[in-house]
Each structure stands twice: as C-alpha cells, then as structure tokens.
Amino acid sequence: MKITILGAGSFGTAFAAHLALFGHEVKMWTRNCERAEHINKFHRNNSCFSETELPHAVSAASDIAEALAFSQHVVMAIPTQSQREVCGKIAPLAEEGVHMLNLAKGIEISTGSLLHQLHKELCPQLVYSALSGPSHAEELLLDMPTTVVVASKEESEARMWQKTVSAGSFRIYAGTDVIGLEVGGATKNIYAVAAGISKALKLGDNALAALACRGLAEIMRFGAKLGANPLTLSGLAGAGDLMVTCYSIHSRNFRLGLGIGSGKTLKEASEELGQVAEGAYTVRAVVENAQKFDVEMPLAEAVYRVLYKNESPTKLIKELFARPLKAEMRF
C-alpha cells in the first residue's frame, strides 16, 4: 500500500521506517525543503535519527499537495498545536473518504478540543482514526516489541489500520472509543512532567508509583466527564501509555520535568530539551476544562502552578499531602 505521512519528526520517521520495512511505500511531508532533499538523496533524516538509514521505499516531499496526491491513506504525525494550521492546508486538497490516522497526543490549547473534534471541524470529509499507547519512537525504529491501540468510530476503519500497520514486533489492538484513546494519550503527558520533577527531587519509587496511580485516577475522572469508557483508560491507551511516559528517559515530558525539578524555568527546560513536550501545553487546557466540568485534578493543577505560576514543587507536595483524607475510588 502507498501511505502518506504528514510530519518528519521522530515518531513520523520511525513510523515511516516501520511501514516501509514491512512492504509499504511511504512518502513523508516536511515543510523543510532541505530536509526533504536530504531524505531523498541520502535516505536519512538529518533532524532526527540521522545515523539510521531509512528503507529506500521512504521518500519525502516539501509540497503538501504532492504528498496528499500520493495516497488515499494519510498518517498525521504533526504536533497537536500545529494541527489546525495543517488541517487548513489539507481541507481543500483531500478528497472525500480519504483515510486519516492521527498519531499525535494532546489537546488544542486555544479551543480545549480533542483532536478528533478539530478534524471533524476542519476536514469532515476524512475518515478519522487515532493511534495511541506506549510507543517510544526510539524503540519502534528498532522493531522492539511494542503494543498500541487504534480507534475509530467505524470499527471497520480501525480494523483496516490494525491490519495495515501491525507487523513484526508492532502489535495493534482495535477499538471504537476515540474519546478514551485521545484523553489517555493527551493527559498522561501532564503526569510525566510531574514524574520527572519527582525524580529530580529524589522523592523515591514509592512517590513515583503513587503519582502514576493517582494520576490515572484523575485521568479516569476527566475522561468520564468527556464520555470515555473507563476500560479504555485502564488499558494500553491509558495506564500503559502513562507508565511508559512516567518511567522512561525516552519521554520528552519526563525529561522536561527533570529540568524543572532541577531548578530550571519552563523556558530554560524547553530550550534544553529542544523538542515539543506536549504536557506543558496540555496541562493548561486540562486544568481549564477540569474547572469547567467540576473535575477534581489536584496533581494536574499542581503541575500547572509549577510551570506557569513559578510555584515551588516542594511547597505543593506539602499541600497535596495536607489535603483532607478521602476514599480512594471516587467518580
């Protein structure tokens, strides 16, 4: 099958290599003309994984119209906050019935929208699916065992992507809970930032495990308000993605938290990271929506206060432990 990938960052590149390795022909779109030329000439992405030779079935284009004309199957590997702009470019070019698979994880800050809502607004002619789960690009590139979920309102669409992408050590489960999948993929980044702060402060393994577990409780409460199935959030797209993001140095959000916990400002930690850490954006939209829907999310609020109010993590930890005692299971 021919497949277009919009975006040439780390996950888009790893995904392209995976697809090509197992028989698909892939064209990546990048805004950067020099990067596209470099990929076509040297079969390497000079912006990430530059030491890895890409399969010859991977090519690149800097013209989005050329990329979209290549295939009826399109993979979106663009950071969340840039998707509205890119969807604006897609809308007049994409035909009715084009299959779209979104790899991004996040919530649009300006509107508070999940990504399926954004795509429905701007590109309603596309048949939308989303993929999420514990999947670091560095490991996908090496064909290390990875298991994720693809969801679409149309079960047949999810099954199509499941069969198309599953190969080698990359196994995909299919489902129809797009809301749950996108809530899990977006919100877990917040708690990865908190996990990085916890690690930098040397709070210990007990604290890290509790943080992930109570973070999952917040995610489930938030997801329930938006219409997610709690079982989705207890699976790969929720608990699974949360664990890998909170415990791995591959995680951008975890590394951002390490910088913050070491005393850097958000600006300093972001510049040092040199990549997009979606949790720093998502926390703003999540906290705003949590207040609107009256959802209790003290950990998310604490991360927001550290990042945007310059409050001390140590002070907020004391506040969290001083909260009134409550039952564990509350929805």
Helix/strand/coil for 79? coil
Write out the H or E segment, with its range, that includes residue 76: strand 73-76
Length of the chain measured in residues: 331
| Integer Cα distance of 283 and 312 in angstroms | 17
Q: What DSSP letter does each residue of 54-65 carry, written as one string?
A: PPTTEEEES-HH
Residues annotated as catalytic (active site), given as ranges: 188
Strands 2-6 and 58-61: unpaired
Which of 116-122's residues contact partners 24+ apart within 8 Å by CB, and which partners? 116/178, 116/179, 116/182, 118/83, 118/84, 118/87, 119/83, 119/87, 122/84, 122/87, 122/88, 122/90, 122/91
Residue 103: strand, helix, or coil: coil
Burial 294-321 (b: 16+ CB within 10 A, else e): ebebebbbbbbbbbeeeeebeebbeeee
Distance CA 219, CA 211 (A): 12
Burial class from Cβ neighbours inside 10 Å (0-12, 13-18, 19+) for residue 331 reads exposed
Question: Tokens 């309603």 correspond to what residue?
Answer: 124
Is residue 150 a contact partner of residue 101, using CB atoms and an 8 Å limit?
A: yes
Q: Dig out the tokens for 212 from the structure.
A: 């992930």
With beta carbons less than 8 A apart as the criterion, state whether 218 and 183 touch.
no
